[in-house]
């Protein structure tokens, strides 16, 4: 999946010279709200493989992104693409390691993902927010050619090139957790469950409060006010005196 600004980024940085006759892998290829695949396929790659954890449009293989090297082997693609996927990956270091290792020397890696300020969007989960400084650390073992913010909404775009000999660096980064609202190294099962319960309850509690307020107003206008008006003046005066004393 990919928004319009991410598609525009891919169209700008992925040229025919980089794609034609090459083997391309897209990780998280399900077309939920847009895809860069039509553009990339128009540049005539030798092979285009789209993988995702769920079946659907533009998905060729259903699999876990943490098993890319196991499935395809190391250095098996010239271009690796992943758009709007990394924020949904709980074990992001393992997946990023697979993205790097499945890429051939001199190959290109394109990543788009969300930054702090972007709303929660669980499909079915949403874990992390990445800033440019995070990407510099995470991809320090590649040559970063383009690193910029999404011009339309909180997000970051990256284009990096694999070196001739990958000396993989395990990134030590505490990412911003959309679940906890702070930077952490990881999130626990309990924290995930707790957040999902609160996220599910919040709009329903708001609706319940709104319905209760509406019911109180209707009770006052339809019952309390008419009954009060129907009471004799002396009775109303007596009630007010009792209420003031209490």
Q: Return the domain boundaries, the chain.
A: 4-187, 194-245
Q: Which two tokens stand for residue 155?
A: 């997000």
Query: How do residues 227-238 score in pLDDT, each as one tens digit?
Result: 777 878 887 778
- Is 63 in contact with 29 (CB distance < 8 Å)? no
**Total residues belonging to the chain:** 246
Query: How do residues 81-121 score in pLDDT, each as one tens digit?
Result: 999 999 999 999 999 999 999 999 999 999 999 999 999 99
Query: How do residues 140-199 score in pLDDT, each as one tens digit?
Result: 999 999 999 999 999 999 999 999 988 888 888 999 999 999 999 999 999 999 998 887
The predicted pLDDT at position 66 comes to 97
Q: Which of 44-53, 77-86, 120-129 is the least confident region? A: 120-129
Q: Any residues with CB less than 8 A from the CB of 100 and at least 6 apart, and which?
A: 109, 141, 142, 162, 166, 168
Burial environment of residue 202 by CB neighbours within 10 A (0 to 12, 13 to 18, 19 or more)? exposed
Furthest-apart CA pair in the chain: how many Å?
97
pTM comes to 0.81
Burial environment of residue 123 by CB neighbours within 10 A (0 to 12, 13 to 18, 19 or more)? middle
The Cα 188–Cα 157 span in angstroms is: 28
The Cα 100–Cα 166 span in angstroms is: 8
Q: Which of 101-115, 120-134, 204-218 is the least confident region? A: 204-218
Q: How confident is the model at residue 209 (pLDDT cuts 50, 70, 90)?
A: low
For the sheet containing 182-184, what is the strand order? 128-129, 175-177, 182-184
- Is the N-terminal amide bond of 50 cis, ω within 30° of 0? no
Q: Any residues with CB less than 8 A from the CB of 148 and at least 6 apart, and which?
A: 9, 132, 156, 157
Distance of CA 10 to the CA centre of its chain: 18
Q: Which two tokens stand for residue 12?
A: 């700008």
The Cα 133–Cα 188 span in angstroms is: 25
The predicted pLDDT at position 217 comes to 78
CATH code for residues 4-187: 3.40.50.150
The predicted pLDDT at position 69 comes to 98
Residue 207 has pLDDT above 80, yes or no: no
């Amino acid at each position: 999946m990919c928004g319009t600004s991410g598609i525009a980024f891919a169209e700008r940085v992925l040229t025919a010279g980089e794609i034609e006759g090459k083997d391309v892998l897209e990780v998280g290829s399900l077309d939920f709200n847009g895809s860069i695949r039509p553009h990339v396929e128009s540049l005539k790659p030798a092979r285009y493989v789209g993988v995702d954890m769920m079946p659907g449009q533009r998905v060729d293989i259903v699999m876990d992104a943490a098993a890319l090297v196991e499935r395809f082997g190391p250095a098996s693609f010239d271009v690796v693409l992943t758009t709007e996927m990394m924020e949904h990956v709980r074990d992001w270091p393992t997946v990023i390691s697979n993205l790097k290792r499945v890429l051939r020397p001199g190959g290109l890696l394109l990543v788009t993902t969300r930054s702090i300020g972007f709303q929660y969007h669980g499909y079915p989960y949403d874990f992390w927010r990445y800033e440019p400084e995070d990407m510099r650390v995470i991809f320090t073992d590649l040559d970063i050619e383009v690193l910029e913010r999404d011009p339309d909404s909180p997000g970051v775009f990256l284009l990096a090139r694999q070196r001739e000999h990958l000396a993989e660096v395990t990134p030590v980064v505490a990412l911003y957790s959309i679940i906890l609202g702070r930077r952490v190294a990881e999130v626990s099962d309990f924290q995930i469950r707790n957040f999902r319960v609160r996220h599910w309850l919040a709009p329903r509690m708001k609706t319940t409060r709104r319905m209760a307020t509406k019911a109180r107003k209707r009770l006052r206008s339809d019952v309390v006010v008419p009954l009060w008006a129907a009471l004799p003046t002396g009775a109303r005066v007596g009630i007010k005196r009792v209420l003031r004393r209490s």
